[in-house]
Amino acid sequence: MSKPLCIALFLLLGFGLQAQEVLRSNTGAPVGDNQNSKTVGEYGPVLLEDIYLIEKLAAFDRERIPERVVHARGAGAFGYFEASKDMSEYTLAAPFQKVGQKTEVAVRFSTVIHGKGSPETARDPRGFAVKFYTEMGNYDIVGNNLPVFFIRDAIKFPDMVHSLKPSPVTNKQDPNRFFDFFSHIPESTHMLTRLYSDYGIPKGYQYMNGSSVHGFKWINKKGEMVYVKYTWVSKQGEKNLTVKEAAEQQAKDWQHATVSLFTDIKEGRYPAWDLYVQIIKAEDIHSFDFWPLDATKHWPEDKIEMIKIGTMYLNKNPRNYFQEVESIAFSPGSLIPGVEPSEDKLLQGRLFSYFDTHRHRLGPNYLQSEVNRPKMQVDNYNSDSYASSRNQNFENADVNYQPSSRAQLTDDNQYRANQQMIKQAKIGQKKISKTNDFAQAGEFYRSLSKQDQKNLISNLAGDLGQVKDKNIQKTMIGYFYKADAEYGMRLAKALGFSQKDFMK
């Protein structure tokens, strides 16, 4: 029997499951579905009434004090974005209205899983967050250096991070734990393939691209809507480290990425990134063999055009790291007129979770600190509590409500949420139909050079080889085999499996 046939046969076989405890909510209610959030229809938005989801995320947001639960280690800088294309046909968003328009920005790069004092040579996704200080308020594009993510639904996020963080028993990160988790999450195959390539260890923050990961909605003056995804392309080029190079760098200076970014800006070598968008018309969103609002999926450039709309330049270092980098707060929910969230299930959970995390970590009035507050005067009646400095107009202090004789809203309808028709949709918890968990992982594998493929296999085998449970190893091999037969077979060989092992 050939190896491909053996592995294919293995994929049809299941493994015996151990008796498991019943998963319950904080109030003791049995959990019916821990993989899918409650949505309006199969592809609709997530509902606030999903109490289990909200409570799960709220508990997760408060697990660390005061270090960020994720993205704890980071570096920041400031500069500006200059638009090179008028996108007013598609959106009201202030930074993209006319050629030559400049907008101040603040940027934070980070590692995702590892702690604040961790080395920047570790294999990990990198955060890529940009805050636009626009005349219509602050707009954040919060993403990563890789264009996809491990999971497609926010309900899985706390569990994923728990598996990747140190064990609560040994206090050590353990491949046995996170591959146990990912062996039950086939949608992670694409992200794992990218992460275990050399893109998993960027040479420096200025040498990596960025992606919004999620799709968003752009709304124009007519109320017309399109879906959009952002990509930052480094003008310094993408440069990564092999495992050997990372080890050599760590022996010299494991804070190299922070130092390199700071030094380049200080010495006038200002890093820059071109910003591209991809646009899908609303009527075309279902025309692909994957769901474009699935965060585990890349929008292929040969099918969805990349449009350059401007360039970001970083030319200023922080004056005080704590006040300007540690205290800066980004959220995919920091939106301005012309941009709205899409129905992406992972994004929908992040809209709540990021704001909630900041309130826990920095306090309820974190948006009033200098680095976080908008450039214009903010008038509303969200006041008091810790460190509040808003609403200092004492002459009118007696009126702290609206509607009132003193305060009114604009009559401009363009600032209202875009209307969306959802017909005959059922509210429930359901996995999307177009999962297509493996195709793009295979496409990415085949796009790599022979040397990069060799490095990917070696990097994966290095961590997966530490997993003691052979069934978990076999399951992961099966996922990668489904992505590409050669990919799975090479990994199986690297892990020491023979043909007989898949016939048992």
| CA-based nearest residue to 234, from 189, 195, 264 | 264
pLDDT category of residue 385 using cuts at 50, 70 and 90: confident
Query: pTM to 2 decimals?
Result: 0.88
395 CB contacts (<8 Å, ≥6 apart)? none
Pairwise CA distance, residues 95 & 91, whole Å? 10
Mean pLDDT for the chain?
Answer: 90
In DSSP notation, 395-447 reads GGTT--SSSSSS------GGGSPPP----SPPEEE---S----SHHHHHHHHH
* C-alpha of 446 from chain center: 24
Q: What phi and psi, each to the nearest 5 degrees, are found at residue 248?
A: -65, -40
- The pLDDT value given to residue 394: 53
144 as an active site residue: the answer is yes
Which one of 36, 71, 145, 358 is the catalytic residue? 71
pLDDT tens digits, 288-299: 999 999 999 999
Pairwise CA distance, residues 360 & 300, whole Å? 38
pLDDT tens digits, 152-206: 999 999 999 999 999 999 999 999 999 999 999 999 999 999 999 999 999 999 9
User: Which residues are registered as beta bridge partners of 216?
Assistant: 228, 341
| CA-based nearest residue to 38, from 56, 26, 20, 24 | 56
| CA-based nearest residue to 211, from 192, 234, 188 | 234
117 CB contacts (<8 Å, ≥6 apart)? 73
Contact 200, 192 (CB under 8 A): no
Q: Which residues are annotated as a binding site?
A: 354
Q: Which residues are annotated as a binding site for heme?
A: 354
220 as an active site residue: the answer is no
**351 or 22, which is more confident:** 351
Q: Which two tokens stand for residue 225?
A: 């809507």
Burial of 237 (0-12, 13-18, 19+ CB in 10 A): exposed
Domains of the chain by start residue, with CATH: 3-10+24-374+427-502 (2.40.180.10)
Average pLDDT over residues 128-135: 96
- The pLDDT value given to residue 281: 97
Burial 18-39 (b: 16+ CB within 10 A, else e): eeeeeeeeeeeeeeeeeebbbb
Pairwise CA distance, residues 206 & 385, whole Å? 39
Pairwise CA distance, residues 51 & 297, whole Å? 27
Which one of 36, 114, 138, 144 is the catalytic residue? 144
pLDDT category of residue 15 using cuts at 50, 70 and 90: very low
6 CB contacts (<8 Å, ≥6 apart)? 499, 502, 503
Among 59-63, 71-75, 293-297, whose mean pLDDT is lowest?
Answer: 59-63
